[in-house]
Amino acid sequence: MLKTHFLKVLGLSIVLTSTVAQAMSLDWSGGYRAEWIEVDRPSLGNPSQRKAYGLNYLYLNPKIIAADGINIISRVDIFNSDIYPGSQLGGIWGSNNSASTATSGTQGFGNVTASQLYLNVNQEFGSLELGRVPFDFGMGMMYSGGKGPFDHWLNTRDMVAYKIIVGDWFLKPMLGR
């Protein structure tokens, strides 16, 4: 009886102590932006009125470094715009926002969305990207990846792409939607 309990405890301790410890690095970054816009006399009529509203926007960029050259990158938008969904304008508050008055029952809602989530495998001459990747094209005038601190719009695509880097230039053949 004692021998069977001893063997069970010994076997359990060998199993628990012989597991390999795997470690990954998790990097966090992000930003918060608040803007206030006030326009005196937006119309030429009488009485002269003014319009004022503010924007706030919070995003987080967690990045998991799974192994050398293998990264899982995401972007989570916290204070989204209920008026312009899919943008980085953020939540709007102010005297001219009828949907978000704090005393009414029609309080505007805010979503938490993952605007980017992709796997990036870095290699010597390029990188493989798989998932919802930021999409830059036309020097940001047509499609912007939204990587700047004051970018109000961002474009992402669900794609499989291989980014070939040649000096300061890159070529990115992709299959996506």
Higher pLDDT, 23 or 149: 149
How many Cα neighbours within 13 Å face the side chain of 153?
9
Q: pTM for this one?
A: 0.68
pLDDT at 74: 94
Q: How many CB atoms lie within 10 A of CB 124?
A: 7
Buried (b) or exposed (e) across 22-61, using 16+ Cβ within 10 A? eeeeeeeeeeebeeeeeeeeeeeeeeeeeeebbbbbbbee
Separation between Cα atoms, residue 121 and residue 91, nearest integer Å: 34
pLDDT at 95: 46
In the structure, what pLDDT confidence band is assigned to residue 96 with cuts at 50, 70 and 90? Answer: very low
Are the beta carbons of 29 and 63 closer than 8 angstroms? yes
pLDDT at 99: 53
Q: Is the pLDDT of residue 22 over 70?
A: no
* Mean pLDDT calculated for residue range 146-156: 77
Give the model confidence (pLDDT) of 113-125 as tens digits: 888 999 999 998 8
pLDDT at 84: 61
Helix (H) or strand (E) holding 2: helix 2-17
Q: Is the pLDDT of residue 62 over 90?
A: yes
Query: What Rg, from alpha-carbon coordinates, does the chain have?
Result: 25
